[in-house]
Amino acid sequence: MKTILLASIVQLTSCSESKTVEAQTPKSDVTINHLTQDIHKEKKPYVISKQDSSVVYKKETNTELQVQKKFFQESVEVAIDETWVIKKIDPLLLKVKKTLLDKDIPKQDKIYWLAYLHYYEAIFYKTIAKNDHKASASIEKAIELLNENPRTSEDYALLAGCTSFSIQFANLVQLPKISSKVSELAKKSLQLNPKNMRAYYVLASHNLYTPKMFGGVVKVEEYAHKGLACPERLDHKLYSPYWGKYKIYEILEDYYQMENRPLEAKKYKELIKKKL
């Protein structure tokens, strides 16, 4: 499945005892606990009708069990791909629930992947369900989680991407401030780790979809090629992300098409096909 670009639709022209416990609990913990409590309140089991797809998805497929032993991102991609195949949000929502309830995931990693999943919820609601209200609510969840206590280069890169996506739901007065914030967050990510490919992806994407009159398009190649020169992974830990390489290919394909450079556009289109 061809993944959706983080900023593919960014257009600057459009876009008592309980009290004591709460006081001692970090806000990010409160957010996660609240979401977890909501899950336990649900009485209906997760079900995807066989009529929705020729593929039967179970609560925990063998595929997911296998890939999760390698890198957590792979199990996330299984949920995202299933969602786009059946065009229903259920696999993504199930993965959110599993992630929330998994006690083995370290807190900071859990926040990161919950935000990433909410980000893809927003993409689904915007592009497939055509529901801007739910899309806006989902991306705000992602931003809220990441904003509480960003620590790593990866946190800031994902926060930059989510902030970029949120621009389309902002009013005209907010646009310059949000746009500036995207660049600030991506550059903070690179300050923490200058080899973070995902930070360069956000900068390239954001620059591509910023109008030329506001300084857009001029740095797409620079950011994209710097990103491709970076390693896909900053480390090989179970919960570390490695997405971004093919997203940069997509950015370059779009850029060369816009610039009427068909041979270069074709080159990256072919590279993208190798993943599909």
Residue 34 CB-density burial (10 A; 0-12 exposed, 13-18 middle, 19+ buried)? exposed
Domain count, the chain: 2
CATH number for the domain that contains residue 204: 1.25.40
Residues 138 and 187 in one domain: no
Residue after which a domain boundary falls, among 133, 149, 165: 149
166 assigned to some structural domain? no
Residue after which a domain boundary falls, among 105, 130, 149: 149
1 assigned to some structural domain? no
- What does the pLDDT read at residue 69? 52
Look at the pTM and tell me if it is higher than 0.85: no
183 assigned to some structural domain? yes
118 assigned to some structural domain? yes
* Segment 170-210, tens digit of pLDDT: 998 999 999 999 999 999 999 999 999 999 999 999 999 99
103 assigned to some structural domain? yes
Q: What are the strands, taking DSSP E only, across the chain?
A: none
167 assigned to some structural domain? no
* Segment 37-70, tens digit of pLDDT: 333 333 333 232 222 222 333 334 444 444 445 8
75 assigned to some structural domain? yes
**CB–CB of 160/186 below 8 Å?**
yes
CA gyration radius for the chain? 19
Calculate ∠ Cα 109-125-215, nearest 5°: 80
3-class SS at 210? coil
Residues 131 and 193 in one domain: no
- pLDDT (average), residues 215-238: 96
Task: Say which amino acid occupies 102.
Answer: D
Beta-carbon contacts of residue 223 (< 8 Å; ≥ 6 apart):
200, 201, 203, 204, 207
Residues 188 and 258 in one domain: yes
Residues 136 and 189 in one domain: no
- pLDDT (average), residues 226-230: 98
232 assigned to some structural domain? yes
**CB–CB of 110/32 below 8 Å?**
yes
Please name the residue ranges forming H helices in 87-152: 90-101, 107-127, 132-148
- What does the pLDDT read at residue 213? 86
Q: What domain range includes position 268?
A: 178-276
Residues 197 and 273 in one domain: yes
Residues 139 and 195 in one domain: no
Whole-number average pLDDT of the chain? 81
Residues 144 and 188 in one domain: no
Q: Give the count of beta carbons closer than 10 Å to the beta carbon of residue 181.
A: 17
Residues 142 and 191 in one domain: no
225 vs 218: CA distance, rounded Å: 13
**CB–CB of 114/99 below 8 Å?**
yes
